[in-house]
Amino acid sequence: MDAAARLAAYFKTHPANIGKVVDFDAGAHRLYHFDFTAANHDLDADTFSDTVKFSRWVNKKLSEHDCKYGVGGYLEHRTIYARSAHFDTDDEPRRLHLGVDIWANVGTLVYSPLDGIVHSYQDNNNFGDYGPTIILQHQLDDLTLYTLYGHLSRESLDGLYVGKSVSKNERIATFGVIEENGHWPPHLHFQLIFDMQGKLGDYPGVCRYSEKERYQQNIPDPQLILKFPKAVNG
């Protein structure tokens, strides 16, 4: 049984061990599905290359569909990353998104969905990067899992130290403003990782499409934890 199957089996037999990542209430809130692929002709280069315009576009979609939260992104091939040289490499640009993005207002609370400890953290302060980032480590019987939280507020890093204990449903962070979060509309990049491969405070959230299979083995679908219902399409 591979790691992803073992993780799914653990969550199936220990459902009470899974908490929340944000204050999403399936009975009260609607989710909007954001599509950042080339198939979305509603989002042009002029909009997504300008963070202020991009933020207005995101907020307009959420408002129009009466959604408090937007979601999307796991293994999505995103043309949007052309906005940042951070994702361009000489041979093949990085465009495949490896986590799930949760879009909501600045200051939205972020929680640890599992008991664990702080593995590492840092401010990845490049245009288009994560900005303030926290990585937690969780021991699920004999399986080690890491959860990554990107695009946070800088104050989210205050008081942290490696090895600090966190509990399920404990508040750990808030969504950051554009000037702090890597210059994105406010959102959370949430990602699951089996092997940090020696990295601290950072791990790729976007890869080359040719690397999809290799990364998919190390990065399972965050929906295993989020368990979000089907989102509303525009």
- Residues 111-144 pLDDT 10s: 999 999 999 999 999 888 999 999 999 999 999 9
Give domain status of residue 143, yes or no: yes
pLDDT band at 68 (very low <50, low <70, confident <90, very high): very high
Single-letter residue type at 9: A
CA 34 to chain centre: 13
Residue 234, domain member (yes or no):
no
* Coil/strand/helix, residue 214: helix
Angle of CA points 167, 171, 177, to nearest 5°:
145
Structure tokens at 78: 């995103």
Q: Who has greater pLDDT, 111 or 42?
A: 111
Residue found under tokens 């002709």: 41
What is the DSSP code (8-state) at residue 216? H
Residue 37 lies in a domain: yes
Q: What is the pLDDT of residues 188-205, one digit of tens each?
A: 999 999 999 999 999 999
Note the pLDDT of residue 85.
47
State whether residue 208 is helix, strand or coil: coil
Residue 233: inside a domain: no
Specify the pTM.
0.93
d(CA 150, CA 101): 9
Which position has the token pair 């653990």? 10
- The pLDDT of 158-170, averaged and rounded, is 98
pLDDT at 195: 98
From CA 215, how far away is CA 176, in angstroms rounded? Answer: 27
pLDDT at 84 over 60: no
Whether residue 85 is contained in a domain is answered as yes
pLDDT reported for residue 48: 80
- Whole-number average pLDDT of the chain: 91
The pLDDT score that the predictor gives to residue 223 is 96
Number of domains composing the chain: 1
Q: Is residue 231 part of a domain?
A: no
Confidence of residue 90 (pLDDT cuts 50, 70, 90): low
The pair of three-digit structure tokens given for residue 65, joined into one six-digit string:
């569909």
Least confident of 70-74, 75-79, 135-139: 75-79
Q: What mean pLDDT do residues 30-38 have?
A: 90
8 A C-beta contact, residue 87 and residue 143: no
Question: Which residues are paired to 150 by β-bridges?
Answer: 189
DSSP three-state, residue 183: coil
Separation of alpha carbons 148 and 163, rounded Å: 15
Residue-range definition of the domain harbouring residue 163: 3-226
Other Cβ atoms less than 10 A from the Cβ of 13: the count is 9
CATH number for position 142: 2.70.70.10
Tell me whether residue 100 is in a domain.
yes
- Asked whether residue 232 is domain-assigned, the answer is no
Measure the CA–CA gap between 221 and 94, rounded to whole angstroms: 19
Give the rounded percent of residues in the chain with a pLDDT score beyond 90. 78
Whether the pLDDT of residue 151 is over 80: the answer is yes
Question: What does DSSP say about strands 69-72 and 31-33: parallel, antiparallel, or unpaired?
Answer: parallel
Is the pLDDT at 80 greater than 90, yes or no? no
The band of 166, judged by pLDDT with boundaries at 50, 70 and 90, is very high
Give the whole-angstrom CA distance, residue 50 versus residue 119: 34
Q: What is the pLDDT of residue 93?
A: 73
